[in-house]
């Protein structure tokens, strides 16, 4: 019986080494590939009132006295932030005056 158990152990070891070697050969290195950024059209109404300069966004809204707004935001701010500015400072909603 001890001879059979040794044979069984050897067979198990052989099977494990085969399984291990096949697993090891399937390891794949991951590479990070940078894809070019896709330009999308700016469709939000807020872009009518903002311009990009020097990595900043400047409000170009002028009041009745032709005084330009001095607000500026970082280039990566959201259109929601810009919309909030237009709504609360200039009383504009979706490009129209708020009633």
- Quick: pLDDT tens for 47-77: 999 999 999 999 999 988 899 999 999 999 9
Residue with tokens 């259109």: 79
Reported pTM:
0.55
> Which element (helix H / strand E) includes 93?
strand 92-93
Domain range list for the chain: 45-97
When mean pLDDT is compared across 10-24, 27-41, 50-64, the lowest value belongs to 10-24
Q: Within a 10 A sphere around the Cβ of 27, how many other Cβ atoms?
A: 6
């Amino acid at each position: 019986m001890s001879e059979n158990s040794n044979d069984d152990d050897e067979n198990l070891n052989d099977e494990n080494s085969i399984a291990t070697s096949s697993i090891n050969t399937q390891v794949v290195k991951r590479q990070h590939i940078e894809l070019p950024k896709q330009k999308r059209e700016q469709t939000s109404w807020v872009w009518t009132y903002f311009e990009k300069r020097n990595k900043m966004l400047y409000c170009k809204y002028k009041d009745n006295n032709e005084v330009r707004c001095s607000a500026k935001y970082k280039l990566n701010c959201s259109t929601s932030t810009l919309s909030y500015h237009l709504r609360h400072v200039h009383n504009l909603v979706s490009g129209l005056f708020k009633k």
